[in-house]
Amino acid sequence: MDAIYALTAAHIASAPTSNAPSSGQDYVQAASHYHAQTVSALQTAITTSSCGTSVFIASLLTLATAVVLPLLHREAGAKNCVLEQMYGLMKGIHTVVDMNTDEIRMGPCGSIFGQLSSPDCVPVAGDAERLRRLRQLGVKYAAGNSRLICEIAIDELEKGYLFNRKRAISWVGKVGPDFIDAVKKEDPYPNLVLLYWAVLLCRLDGMWWAKYAGRILVKELTDRFGCLYDDSWSEAIEWVGAELRGTSGDERGP
């Protein structure tokens, strides 16, 4: 229950209609309190090997809360750590699954491990072309290992854009530490790829926490990397901004 309380409090704190700053901060503190208790309980569950479906569900809720909390009370100018935060948590979730794969896959969460394609994900017109142009920008503005790790990241992005949007969550675990390091070093092209991932987060209807993180990422990264190169780069940034405007709005859900 602590995981549910934490995520609920974080959701209320993230709403733009919060009555007063002090009220919003109270919810942040409540979310932090319940989140800490959840993390402690999960650590105990993992070390005692009791990693069933309930632990898996709590891990997913904890992932959502852990993504949002740093965005709610960070100082102005602080760097965004959404990707790094999610990467570490995804590794923990994989540990939970590995310890009790059969029970989790056969239980109520089994659909999470379904096929790559999903009938409820209709590709948006133009997405394939946008991804092709993103690759072309890599030819111009990335070289050597940087280009290679970004190609892998884009390959995984395609699965989210063209087949199943929920792949935006598992994408974090696929890109690898080299990509995350490039983003942290503020290498422009990997951060452009990250922007395309943020757009995919913004399309996850019903997952308010993912859309919240995606919107913040888009706003920050477009300000930082928007006017670096030629018209093709600017066009890519403008498309990201247009997508953000098209997916704005509060979402209710997990």
Mean pLDDT across 151-175: 88
Q: Is residue 148 part of a domain?
A: yes
Q: Are residues 79 and 55 in the same domain?
A: yes
User: Is 253 within the bounds of a domain?
Assistant: no
Residue 108 confidence (pLDDT):
60
Q: What is the rounded CA–CA span in Å between residue 155 and residue 105?
A: 25
Lowest mean pLDDT among 61-70, 102-111, 152-161: 102-111
Euclidean distance between the first and the last CA atom of the chain, given in angstroms as a whole number? 14
What is the sign, positive or negative, of the torsion defined by CA atoms of 203, 159, 154, 213? Answer: positive
Residues 150 and 72 in one domain: no
Query: Domain limits at 144?
Result: 127-246
Give me the pLDDT at residue 137, please: 94
Q: pLDDT by residue (tens digit) across 128-140? A: 999 999 999 999 9
Yes or no: say if 155 and 171 are a contact pair by the CB < 8 Å rule.
Answer: no
pLDDT at 197: 94
Is 119 part of any domain? no
Residue where a domain stops, chosen among 113, 148, 168: 113
Confidence of residue 249 (pLDDT cuts 50, 70, 90): low
Per-residue pLDDT reduced to its tens digit, 62-77: 888 988 888 887 655 5
Instruction: Tell me the chain's radius of gyration from C-alpha atoms.
Output: 18
Closest CA to 52 of 4, 121, 107, 125: 107
254 is a domain residue: no
- What pLDDT is recorded for position 165? 85
Mean pLDDT of 13-17: 77
% pLDDT > 70, the chain:
75
pLDDT (average), residues 6-10: 92
Helix (H, G, I), strand (E, B) or coil at 193: helix
Quickly state the pLDDT bin for 106 (edges 50, 70, 90): low
Q: Which pLDDT does position 157 carry in this prediction?
A: 94
pLDDT tens across 51-60, in order?
677 777 788 8
Number of domains in the chain: 2
Mean model confidence pLDDT for the chain: 81
Residue 125: Cβ within 10 Å count: 7
Distance (Å, rounded) from C-alpha 244 to C-alpha 71?
18
pTM above 0.95, yes or no: no
Cα gap 109→103, rounded to integer Å: 9
Region label for 90, one of left (φ > 0), alpha (ψ between -120 and 50) or beta (otherwise): alpha
Is pLDDT above 60 for 22? no
103 and 131 belong to one structural domain: no
Q: Tell me whether residue 9 is in a domain.
A: yes
Residue ending a domain, choose from 59, 87, 113: 113
Please name which of 121, 101, 117, 99 lies closest in space to residue 109, comparing C-alpha atoms: 101
Q: Are residues 144 and 225 in the same domain?
A: yes
pLDDT per position as a tens digit, 75-99: 555 566 777 777 777 776 766 666 6
| Contact between residue 80 and residue 218 where contact means Cβ atoms under 8 Å apart | no
Residue % of the chain over a pLDDT of 90: 29
Residue 206 has pLDDT above 60, yes or no: yes
**Better-predicted residue by pLDDT, 215 or 167:** 215
The mean per-residue pLDDT over the stretch 29-51 comes to 81
